[in-house]
Amino acid sequence: MEYQNSPQRELEIFYAITSAINASLSLQEVLAVILNRIVTDLGYRAATLRLLDEERQTLELRAFYGLSETYLSKGDVEVTKSGIDRTALAGQSVTIPDVRKERGFQYSVAAEREGLTSLIAVPLTLRGVAIGVLHVYTADRHDFSPNEQAFIAGIANLGAQAIRRTHCFEAFQRISHQINSSLEVKQVLKTLLLESVRELNVRAGSIRLLGPRKRTLHLASAYGLSETYLKKGDIELAQSPIDQKVLKEARAVVITDIAQEAGLQYREEAEREGIRSVLVVPLHMRDVTIGVMRLYSGQIRRFVPEEISLADAVADLGAVAIENARLHEILRDRLEALKEDVDGWYRFLSLG
């Protein structure tokens, strides 16, 4: 196969993909458009798009075009077993003349059965951070020209931006719906934390609320952390510069590598827990910060601005939901007390 698209044709394809992406806030629709256009308009055999699960170090299939269910059922790609994808995730495109004979390709036997031959693996990069890999396959042996590689890479970068945008939109919708489904403080805290851990794809999380004297952060909810780690004690603000900064400035702080961070009170305990990176987000409401949410990663994690913005927005929403739940519980308790008083007076008057 020869790549014969003219600059005019490339511009038309790029414009069509951009228009389709901008017309949708559905992640699956965006992914489907990207792969459909790449395969049908450029004349390739098939394509897959996999997003990186940083905690499990796997590439999870999120979209495909031109492949059988049998081939797709082979499972996620383990980064440690795929040299090709490791190179792509490091930011470099990789071309393979024949995947059937390539040792660095994890599923070479399955590819041969599927009728796939040549491959280009292109990173989906967002602000210097790879979030996934785009694979484009041909049926016959093919040398991807520099022009082809540049064009596919351009589409991949466009796709990375669209993926992050649509994911954050959908995630915020899901989380806000879940948070607002309860008026019980404990349930609101649990939902806020669980959904944040899930949508930001981290290993664990915790929510700590300020004590009455605002000197201590008390554990209010936790997910994915061991009992040993949780028993280490409350956080004293005087010993935790990181939390002081988050509470004072009301903005998120990222600890990329806790081994290099001196401002964390329980750093040694965190290292024993297997925590490598932490995103600390304030729970902020009406110019008052009531606590912090911490999201823990077992990998060295460079949270991109979109992820931090999502965590910030969710935390603000959570702070309002927590306050609403508190007020609801106070009102409910007062109503119960009033009801008991009324019942008491009614019995007293009945006896009289």
Q: What are the domain boundaries of the chain? A: 7-170, 180-340
What topology is assigned to 7-170 in CATH? Beta-Lactamase (3.30.450)
Instruction: Tell me the pLDDT tens digit for each residue of 151-183.
Output: 899 888 888 888 877 777 777 778 777 777 666
CATH class held by domain 180-340: alpha beta
SS (H, E, C) 284-339: EECCEEEEEEEEEECCCCCCCHHHHHHHHHHHHHHHHHHHHHHHHHHHHHHHHHHH
Helix/strand number for the chain, H first, E second? 11, 12
Q: Residue 211's Cα: distance from chain center in Å?
A: 30
Instruction: Tell me the pLDDT tens digit for each residue of 270-328.
Output: 999 999 999 999 998 777 888 999 999 999 988 888 889 888 888 888 887 777 766 65
Hey, is 209 helix, strand or coil?
Answer: strand
Which of 38-42, 87-91, 190-194 holds the top average pLDDT? 87-91
The predicted pLDDT at position 349 comes to 57
Which of 32-36, 212-216, 251-255, 303-307 holds the top average pLDDT? 251-255
**Cβ-Cβ contacts under 8 Å for 163 (sequence gap 6 or more):** 27, 30, 31, 51, 124, 131, 132
The predicted pLDDT at position 1 comes to 46
Instruction: Please give the backbone phi and psi of residue 282, each rounded to the nearest 5 degrees, phi first.
Output: -75, 145
The predicted pLDDT at position 204 comes to 95
Whether the domain at 7-170 and the domain at 180-340 fall into the same CATH topology:
yes
Instruction: Tell me the pLDDT tens digit for each residue of 44-69.
Output: 999 999 999 888 889 998 889 999 99
pLDDT (average), residues 125-142? 90
- The whole-angstrom separation of Cα 237 and Cα 210 is 10
- The whole-angstrom separation of Cα 108 and Cα 99 is 6
- The whole-angstrom separation of Cα 236 and Cα 257 is 21
Instruction: Tell me the pLDDT tens digit for each residue of 74-115.
Output: 778 889 888 889 999 999 999 999 988 887 677 888 888 999
The predicted pLDDT at position 25 comes to 65
Question: At CA 220, angle to CA 216 and CA 222, rounded to 5?
Answer: 120
The predicted pLDDT at position 333 comes to 63
The predicted pLDDT at position 2 comes to 47
pLDDT (average), residues 16-20? 79
